[in-house]
């Protein structure tokens, strides 16, 4: 056993003082959770502040981190941003992607993120040539997450077309396997345990449909079937832009959501990412099928995508999760409060969700969307993944401890994270990463290597 003592902890939806967390060294689970312990037991590691279940970043494109700042010059739209993104993707190699992803995942750990869903579609070499290991790029992502000490759900993505009825463009060739059958054959050979020391038990393999633009309608069912056969999570970019909806209507006479429903993509293990521009019927289809929705507010506002109908889809039956997507910032507290604050701006009314509800979206709902069966809660049998937020920084000091959840959601930032524990392992201690010595330096070197 490894024993931690949390000064304050969010247990069962309540902030409790003096909580003992006993973790299993081998299984990575919580063996015991005891509240009302006034002082740390002998030998316990002390966690000052508010300890929460680990934060789940349900939607990431690790290489987009190299775009931060660069894409803020001038103006434009999602489509002009995409051209810059393609340029960075074109310069990735297995070696440079490992270094970048390791640094990005370490940045996530410093931000209290204990689990990430990597929406991975840069599969091949520029021009589409296959590496000797067809999953070389996926395997370096698995190795990078293990090296940074966080859990990973690798969402291997089918990206087969350049648009409705269009072949992949030159810069999209490295994303494409040609057809869904070839994609499935390659994805089936992903082997987490063989990819990185320490990855056993901390990696899951899932699937993704990049979008209805990038996977022809006749091949959607094959991707969904691959995931269903493995009981794996399935994610899909959905209606991020009005242009996607218009092109889908022109090609198929229906919305993207209806197209996914007609081809068996929606369901309890499916998560729609963004879901920004939905019709009322779309909302009913998502909610009625139990399809989750992952909102990425900082990216959606950075790209001027719009504000998605989060309240409506959740009321219809879709569980909500959160992601940092393009990594304009890596801060799940910012993503979490943005969900509520965006609704306040849109409706001019406050209080759509409680802080406790929002924390569940940022923790256990995200883990569930990424295919982790053990509960991401501070309870016996739950994953021993947790993060501690300072309650004495200039941003968080002042409120009574019992308001710790409200303080974390509406005032804290990633800079307030003091500790991150994954599977009982202390990955970030007192704001310092235990495995990556110089995270800013690692980021600078990795991004610098990709400059054209």
Task: Specify whether 438 is catalytic.
Answer: no
State CA 161 to chain mean position distance.
Answer: 24
Q: With left for phi above 0 and alpha for psi between -120 and 50, is residue 438 left, alpha or beta?
A: beta
Q: For residues 370 and 269, what is the distance between their CA atoms, to the nearest angstrom?
A: 9
In contact, 4 and 40? CB cutoff 8 Å: no
Distance of CA 75 to the CA centre of its chain: 27
Burial tier of 299 (Cβ tally within 10 Å: 0-12, 13-18, 19+): buried
CA distances from 318 to 56, 335, 344, 365 (A): 17, 18, 20, 11
Annotated catalytic residue within 156, 177, 302, 325: 325
Is residue 325 part of the annotated active site? The answer reads yes
In angstroms, the Cα distances linking 102 to 63, 154, 176 are 11, 14, 24
Note the helical H segments in 196-253.
217-230, 242-252
Give CA–CA dist 168/120, Å, rounded: 17
For residues 97 and 140, is the Cβ–Cβ distance under 8 A?
yes
Which residue is catalytic, options 59, 263, 274, 433? 274
Residue 360's Cα: distance from chain center in Å?
A: 14
Catalytic residues: 274, 325
């Amino acid at each position: 056993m490894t024993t931690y003592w949390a000064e304050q902890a969010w247990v069962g939806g309540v902030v409790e003082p003096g909580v003992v967390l006993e973790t299993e060294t081998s299984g990575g689970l919580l063996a015991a959770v005891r509240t009302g312990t006034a002082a740390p037991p002998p030998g316990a590691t002390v966690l000052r502040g508010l300890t929460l279940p680990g934060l789940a970043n349900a939607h990431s494109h690790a290489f987009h981190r190299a775009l931060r700042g660069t894409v803020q010059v001038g103006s434009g739209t999602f489509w002009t941003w995409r051209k810059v993104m393609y340029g960075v993707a074109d310069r990735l190699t297995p070696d440079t992607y490992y270094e970048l992803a390791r640094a990005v995942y370490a940045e996530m750990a410093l931000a209290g993120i204990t689990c990430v869903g990597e929406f991975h579609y840069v599969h091949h070499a520029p021009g589409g040539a296959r590496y000797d290991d067809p999953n070389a790029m996926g395997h370096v992502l698995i190795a990078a997450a293990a090296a940074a000490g966080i859990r990973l759900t690798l969402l291997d993505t089918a990206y087969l077309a350049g648009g409705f009825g269009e072949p992949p463009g030159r810069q999209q060739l490295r994303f494409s396997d040609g057809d869904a059958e070839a994609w499935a054959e390659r994805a089936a050979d992903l082997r987490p345990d063989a990819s990185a020391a320490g990855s056993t038990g901390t990696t899951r393999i899932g699937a993704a449909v990049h979008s209805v633009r990038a996977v022809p309608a006749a091949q959607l069912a094959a991707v969904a079937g691959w995931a269903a056969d493995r009981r794996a999570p399935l994610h899909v970019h959905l209606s991020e832009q009005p242009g996607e909806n218009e092109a889908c209507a022109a090609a198929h006479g229906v919305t993207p959501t209806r197209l996914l429903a007609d081809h068996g993509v929606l369901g309890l293990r499916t998560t729609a990412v963004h879901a920004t521009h939905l019709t009322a019927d779309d909302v009913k289809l998502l909610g009625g099928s139990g399809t989750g929705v992952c909102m990425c507010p900082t990216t959606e506002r950075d790209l001027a995508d719009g504000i998605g109908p989060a309240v409506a889809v959740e009321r219809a039956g879709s569980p909500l999760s959160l992601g940092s997507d393009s990594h304009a910032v890596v801060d799940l507290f910012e993503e979490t409060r943005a969900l509520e604050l965006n609704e306040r701006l849109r409706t001019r009314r406050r209080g759509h969700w409680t802080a406790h509800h929002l924390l569940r979206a940022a923790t256990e709902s995200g883990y569930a969307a990424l295919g982790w069966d053990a509960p991401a809660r501070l309870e016996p049998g739950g994953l021993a993944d947790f993060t501690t937020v300072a309650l004495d920084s200039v941003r968080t000091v002042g409120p009574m401890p019992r308001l710790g959840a409200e303080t974390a959601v509406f005032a804290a930032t990633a800079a307030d994270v003091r500790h991150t524990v994954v599977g009982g392992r202390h990955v970030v201690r007192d704001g310092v990463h235990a495995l990556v010595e110089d995270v800013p330096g690692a980021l600078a070197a990795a991004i610098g290597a990709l400059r054209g």
